[in-house]
Amino acid sequence: MKKLDLRLLRLIKNSKGQFIAITVLIIIGLIIYTGLSMAAINLEESIDTYFNRMNFSDLFIEAVELSDGDIEKIQQITDVSKVEGRIVVDVPFKDEDQDAKVRLISQGKDKEINKLYTVKGDKNIEKKEVLMLKQFAEARSLDVGNDITLEIGGKDIIFTIKGIVSSPEYIYLMEDEQSLLPTPKKFGVVYMDEKYLEEILGYSGVYTEALVTSKNTENLEVLKEEIEDQMKGSKIRRIYPREDQLSNRMVHEEIKGLKQVSSTIPLLFLGVAGIIIAALISRMIRNDRMSIGVMKSLGYNNRKILAHYTKLSLSLGLIGSVIGILLGSLLANQMAKMYLNFFNIPFLEGRFYPEFTLYGIILSVMFCVLAGLWGARKVLKIDPAESMRPDPPKKGGRVFVDRIGFLWRRLNFSEKMVFRNIFRNKKRFIFLSLGIAITFSIVIMPFAMLDAMNTMFDKHYTDFQLMEYNINFNRPMTGDVIEDIKEELQIGKIENKIEYPFEIINEEKEKVVTIIGLEENTEFYDFTSVKGDDIELPKKGILLSEGLAKVLDLEEGDNIEIKTFNNDENIKVEVKGIIRQSLGSNGYMNISQMREEFIGSNITTGVYINSDEDVKNRLDDLEYVSFIQSTKDMINIYMEFTDLIILSLGIMLLAGGILGFVIIYNSTIMNIAERRLEFSSLRVLGLSKKEIFKIVTKENAIMTITGILLGIPLGLYMIKYLESMYSTDIYTLRVDISLLSYLGSILATVIFVIIAQLATYRKIKNLDFIEALKNRIT
């Protein structure tokens, strides 16, 4: 082995703590990079395969009713490859313990679009047999051969489960946009023989939905418009492309999130590793000045010497990336397994993608080598003759605090030293303070996210929505039903509502959302404007949720068009306000305007109820009630969900902690090494180890405070970035950091500083000051 390489190895061995710390950063960076990148690709490719094999629909058509003729008409459109009608109805699932809602979907042997994947049992069903979606079956502990009771058309019918299936349409099982979270116990999907379903529902040749595959998948919007044109006057409610299909969208949000995290966080870790490497090497160069002079006098050229130091960073990069990639691949595998709990993808597997190994190595080596070269650049400037002489003493002089006479006079000797040290080594001071600032800003993020999650749900279910029960009817009813319900429930408040999906159009932009019609002076919603002022539901006009207004680029006072499908003309409505809504995106209108202008008089699709009575049991028997959702249940579901979030936030906190520790540990160790002579002189003057440690502690304390003060705006900036990253049109993240979170993050940062300090204390304790003063060799 070349003697210089040998020197390098021994150098690494002597300060292994620092090198391990840096390597850990690189490892974490690459674990996240390879792990999440591979997880994202795994998901993406598995879904593609799944969609291809199951022939996932390109367009989804929802209608009040579609006849055989309508289907035939759509089939005639040039770009349509295949169209299939189907019946979809939501019905109550009867169970002794806990009722649920299931979506009944008609199924037949001839179906070619959105084919089902049989997990267990048999796909061929007859009259009283059903196929059940895996997630629901698992949540309910149901299996092939079990009987279930469904209430269809007011009658309880018993069915036998013939098979357990997965569907490309329900990878992520959510009832609708409003649900936010999957509740597989409370909402399921069941497939039933089409002929039999027609029979019991009394439908014949009538469908409620159609699935369309296109010959030209590039331009589904065009096809969508063409179908809309052709089908004008029919009872179509909405048409949407596969990108907007709920489950598909949720999975793609997840993939997008993975990709975003895998392309930002690793850069942060590698960047910090790079900065530390650069600082470490530049410090080594300073200490090695004489050795470099010797190397030059021996005839080593600049390239060789630069390579000597860069090899150090290169080896850190290589070691870190290899370990990181190995662990990252394991993580990708684990994540694939974890996703199986969330997503029902039969072909999901944790594949290994060698290209990410390559990218990862290139990425980290690039960072490390550049950092190494940057740190070592001063090698070029070292003049061999000059370097043989001892370093001239550092420039002294009065510092800023020095000039404030009355303050300066109050300081004792060691305090004066603290200030002089800080002000004379501005670079070191800035580096450490920034390190602490970064630590703080990373640490505060998980706290802030937790706050945000809490506010999101809390605000939504306690401040914004004030109803205890949200009840949907299985078909539009007239307003008289409210009297019916009132008879069942003596006490409580009750209001009619209309919930219908419509397409809202603002010039080029359009979006299908549920518009909710509410009674004037509704007591079940509390609207606040984006600025935080109270807003009343207007008599005429619409209120839009923040996320929706953003997507459609709308402001208060703008006019929108609402496409209603059964009217030829779109209805123009003025935006009367933009409101805060953390979950879901909706429009809100006065129920009477909706009835008058586009629904039909006296129509209602459900009610809101506040009552102390056992609403569920009382209303269960009403034939037209399809679903009763209680806010309490929603909050409970959220609580379960929070446990999961806390776990991932904990991981984030840990990562932030490691990052912070490495920054602080390395900079204090470098600091001590640089100041060996200074400390030794102080020891010779008679200062005890404790007193020196006190000086260092005071310096660090000032830097910690500065760092935290800098960290607050930095953290807020990063949180703003997170807000925009995680806010979708389905939920809007708004972070109000609580005092407790601030305190928590400050405490965590201080703890990281203290741990790093302990390492410093050990170094001071072991400092052999006579040796340090005597020995000028490096």
Partner 1 sequence: MEKNKLIRVEDLSKEYKMGEVTVNALKKVSFDINEGEFVVIVGPSGSGKSTLLNIIGGMDTPTEGKVFIGDEDITKYNDKSLTSYRRDKVGFVFQFYNLMANLTAEENVELATEICKDPLKIAEVLESVNLSDRKGHFPSQMSGGEQQRVAIARAVAKNPLILLCDEPTGALDYKTGKSILSLLNKINKDYKKTVVIITHNSPISKMGDRVIKMRSGKIVDNKVNENPISPERIEW
Binding site for partner 1 (CB under 8 A): 2-4, 6-7, 10-11, 14, 290-291, 293-302, 304, 383-385, 388, 775-778
Find how far residue 621's CA is from the centre of its chain. Answer: 41
DSSP 415-444: HHHHHHHHHH-HHHHHHHHHHHHHHHHHHH
Q: Closer to partner 1 at the Cβ: 377 or 420?
A: 377
- Shortest spacing between CB 305 and partner 1, in angstroms: 10
Decide if 174 contacts 184 (C-beta within 8 A).
Answer: no
Q: How far is CA 517 from CA 505, 643, 701, in A?
A: 18, 35, 58
Cβ 771 to partner 1 shortest distance, Å? 9
CB of 4 to partner 1, least distance (A): 7
Of residues 15 and 514, the one with the C-beta less far from partner 1: 15
Choose among 110, 113, 231, 271: nearest CA to 662.
271
Gap between the Cα atoms of 30 and 121, Å rounded: 43
**Residue 288 or 495 having the CB closest to partner 1:** 288
User: By C-beta, is 395 or 427 nearer to partner 1?
Assistant: 395
What is the C-alpha to C-alpha distance for residues 167 and 47, in angstroms, rounded to an integer?
A: 11
Report the residue number, 302 or 592, with the smaller CB distance to partner 1.
302
Least separation in angstroms between CB 670 and partner 1: 18
Q: Give the nearest distance from C-beta 11 to partner 1 in angstroms.
A: 6
Spatial separation of the C-alpha atoms in residues 697 and 672, rounded to whole Å: 12
* Residue given tokens 């004379």 in the structure block: 424
Alpha-carbon distance of 10 to 4, in angstroms, equals: 10
Return d(Cα 410, Cα 403) in angstroms, integer.
Answer: 13
Cβ 303 to partner 1 shortest distance, Å = 10
Task: Give the nearer residue to partner 1 in terms of CB position, either 315 or 329.
Answer: 315
Residue 12 Cβ vs partner 1, minimum distance, rounded to whole Å: 10
User: Which residue lies nearer to partner 1 by CB, 366 or 770?
Assistant: 770
| Amino acid, res. 46 | S
Which residue's CB is nearer to partner 1, number 10 or number 531?
A: 10
Closest contact distance (angstroms) between CB of 777 and partner 1 is 5
Rounded to whole angstroms, how far apart are CA atoms 139 and 98? 12
Total number of residues shown for the chain? 778
CA distance readout (Å), 84 to 75, 125, 208, 343, 529 = 9, 19, 11, 26, 44
Q: Which is closer to partner 1, CB of 284 or CB of 730?
A: 284
C-alpha span between 212 and 77 (Å, rounded): 11
Shortest spacing between CB 376 and partner 1, in angstroms: 17
Pairing of strands 586-590, 509-518: parallel
Instruction: Count other Cβ atoms within 10 Å, centred on residue 158.
Output: 10
Q: For the CB of residue 383, give the shortest distance to partner 1 in the complex, in Å.
A: 7
Q: Are 464 and 653 in contact (CB under 8 A)?
A: no
How near is the Cβ of 369 to partner 1 at its closest, in Å? 23
Of 14 and 52, the one with the shorter C-beta distance to partner 1 is 14
Distances (CA, A) of 700 to 101, 428, 576, 754, 767: 60, 11, 55, 9, 19
Strands 534-535 and 527-528 come out as antiparallel
